Amino acid sequence: MNLNGKKILVTGADGFIGSHLVETLVKDGYDIRAFVLYNSFGSWGWLDKSPDSIKQQIEVVAGDVRDPHGVKEAMKGCDVVLHLAALIAIPYSYSSPSTYVETNVQGTLNIVQAARELNIERVICTSTSETYGTALFVPITEEHPLQGQSPYSASKIGADMIALSYFTSFDTPVTVLRPFNTYGPRQSARAVIPTIISQVAAGMKQIKLGALSPTRDFTFVTDTARGFIQAASCDDIVGQVTNIGSGFEISIGDTAQAIIDVMGADVEIICDEQRLRPEKSEVNRLFAGIDKAKEVMSWSPEFEGLEGFKKGVAKTIEWFTNPDNLANYKTDRYNV
């Protein structure tokens, strides 16, 4: 599918990945409508920080993905929907699980139902590597069993199944893109890499983290953004799930040490009990199999392997250590 001349809606455009995706799409010359969460402050989230040259070229619509009427109205006149709007913080899902079902499952249902009614040409729904749970084999391919080890991951499994059921039942052109752990500038400090960087940048001598032994496949945000564009352009993955990741596995402890070394900090890593997941809920190993994305989507990560990870971490540190950017974070608090 050629995206040139298509009107593209991005839900969750105010968020971390969504704002990077919108900026990439605009720079590539696409016609973008950005769907942001309504709030009384008139905030567009991270899009407020985008250059004026970006903001002047996007149409912004405020609403709530949980509202089927507002979703359908936002989708009218669009050809392609890149659906990123979701609740994603795992710790918060332990205390407010129904909100995750409403946002992630019902929200996705609202998207695919409107897509069916409006004859949208392509819908990309965002999944997560958390749906796999702790790896039963590595690298984790798209055939890996799904394991809901947290209310968050269970809600995303439900959302994925709803989306794919609309392809099976109604031939709605849905693709499920499954990014592994995305990181980069603007990410919430609830995520581990910004947590480490922001604490070091704030001058803290004790860095509070949860479990250090789990491994992750960290994917730089610009690679994830390009994955969405490639997925929307690819006819051969409609009705399917496709992973995107870096093809590199590193433990949380080694990640923390790598960041501390780059930042030249003299700090101590300590375990903060409130940051630990319930034992059976912890995902101990994630390592992406990305052969399908490479072969079918013609996508591959620019920030690949150990060297790519180091390059991405350096870019992330550079952004977070800018005082204007760091001021957006409450470094003295645990961000759920």
Distance CA 264, CA 270 (A): 18
Two domains, one topology: 7-180+219-247+289-296 and 192-214+249-285+304-326: no
Q: Strand, coil or helix: what is 199?
A: helix
Q: Which amino acid is at 108?
A: T
Contact at 8 Å (CB) between 269 and 275? no
Phi, psi values for residue 80, rounded to 5°: -135, 140
Angle between helices 16-27 and 221-233 (to 10 degrees): 60
- The CATH code for residues 7-180+219-247+289-296 is 3.40.50.720
Bond into 68 cis (ω within 30): no
Whole-model pTM: value is 0.97
Sequential pLDDT tens for the chain (336 residues): 999 999 999 999 999 999 999 999 999 999 999 999 999 999 999 999 999 999 999 999 999 999 999 999 999 999 999 999 999 999 999 999 999 999 999 999 999 999 999 999 999 999 999 999 999 999 999 999 999 999 999 999 999 999 999 999 999 999 999 999 999 999 999 899 999 999 999 999 998 999 999 999 999 999 999 999 999 999 999 999 999 999 899 999 999 999 999 999 999 998 888 899 999 999 999 999 999 999 999 999 999 999 999 999 999 999 999 999 999 998 878 877
pLDDT tens for 259-295 read 999 999 999 998 888 899 999 999 999 999 999 999 9
Q: Which residues contact 318 (CB under 8 A, 6 or more apart)?
A: none
Alpha-carbon gap, residue 146 to 129, rounded angstroms: 9
- Count of other CB atoms within 10 angstroms of residue 182: 25
Burial state string for 92-130 with b = 16 or more CB within 10 A and e = fewer than 16: bbbeeeeebbbbbbbbbbbbbbbbbeeebbbbbbbbbbb
What CA–CA distance (Å, rounded) separates 135 from 126? 20
- What does the pLDDT look like over 233-254, one tens digit per residue? 999 999 999 999 998 999 999 9
- In the chain, the percentage of residues whose pLDDT exceeds 90 is 94
- Strand boundaries in 95-244, DSSP class E: 122-126, 174-179, 182-183, 206-209, 215-216, 219-220, 241-244
Locate the domains of the chain by residue range: 7-180+219-247+289-296, 192-214+249-285+304-326
Exposed/middle/buried for residue 134 (C-beta within 10 Å: 0-12, 13-18, 19+): middle
Q: Which CATH architecture has domain 192-214+249-285+304-326?
A: Alpha-Beta Complex (3.90)
